[in-house]
Amino acid sequence: MQLSLNPWITSPAESDDDEAPEVHVPPAAVISTPLRGMVEPDTADRLANRVVSGSAMLWIVGSHGGAGESRTADLIDGARPTGHCWPVMQDGSKPRVLLVCRTDMRGLTTAQSALTQWASGATPKVELIGLAVLADAPGKTPKALRDFAAIIGGGAPRLWILPWVEAWRHGDSTTTPPGREYQRFITDLAALATGPNPKH
């Protein structure tokens, strides 16, 4: 079988159903800036733009309602949610953005549309850090959704796949998520959010 170059795929998916639980492994950047010739999604499938006031080290953009935008912003010092919109800065600077979604089909398809919008250049000027995919339910994510998440994640500069946090279901926002996936995710974002940021 011949493999074609596809910017949405970082590597062929594994076919083993008995694989170990998902582990945070951001892929090498395949797409780090918008691409010439990428067709933007239909207007109905795009996230809106919104002028934001104040400042943040990192803006969290949920690709759909319930994506975990506010919850993710609470994890990162200096992060703020945008209300499911691409942030536009009043001073014209280029904000750092993390896109987030859930692992259900709706979440993944909206993330795919948002990444296509960004890759086509149809978003305001933003520095996209990557995509965080948060589990939508306890237990192991079905293989078809894991594979789809990996394909979509290939269209972002970095990908984090994060497990379910039971305490959040009960409204406990003060509990730091357990496990190395979240600890590494928080460390990665803190480092990425404090690096040099282009103004234009």
> Which one-letter amino acid corresponds to residue 156?
A
What are residue 1's DSSP bridge partners? none
Q: Which two tokens stand for residue 3?
A: 């493999």
91 contacts 124 by C-beta, under 8 angstroms:
no
pLDDT band at residue 4, thresholds of 50, 70 and 90?
Answer: very low
pLDDT band at residue 198, thresholds of 50, 70 and 90?
Answer: very low
Q: Tokens 């919008």 identify what position?
A: 117
pLDDT band at residue 39, thresholds of 50, 70 and 90?
Answer: low
- Which of 1, 46, 10 lies closest to 149, judged by CA? 10
Q: Tokens 């076919």 identify what position?
A: 15
pLDDT in tens, 152-174: 999 999 999 999 988 887 777 66
- What phi, psi does 5 have (nearest 5°)? -75, 120
pLDDT band at residue 65, thresholds of 50, 70 and 90?
Answer: very high
- Which of 148, 116, 97 lies closest to 42, judged by CA? 116
All structural domains of the chain? 46-193 (3.40.50)
pLDDT band at residue 192, thresholds of 50, 70 and 90?
Answer: confident
Average pLDDT across the chain, whole number: 82
Write the DSSP string, the chain: -PPPP-TT-SSPPP--TTPPPP---PPPPS--S--TTPPPPPGGGSPEEEEE-S--SEEEEESSTTSSHHHHHHHSTTEEE-SSEEEEETT----EEEEEEESSHHHHHHHHHHHHHHHTT-S-S-EEEEEEEE-SSSSPPPHHHHHHHHHHHTTSS-EEEE---HHHHTT--SSPPPSHHHHHHHHHHHHHHTS-----
pLDDT band at residue 82, thresholds of 50, 70 and 90?
Answer: very high
pLDDT in tens, 104-153: 999 999 999 999 999 998 899 999 999 999 999 999 999 999 999 999 99
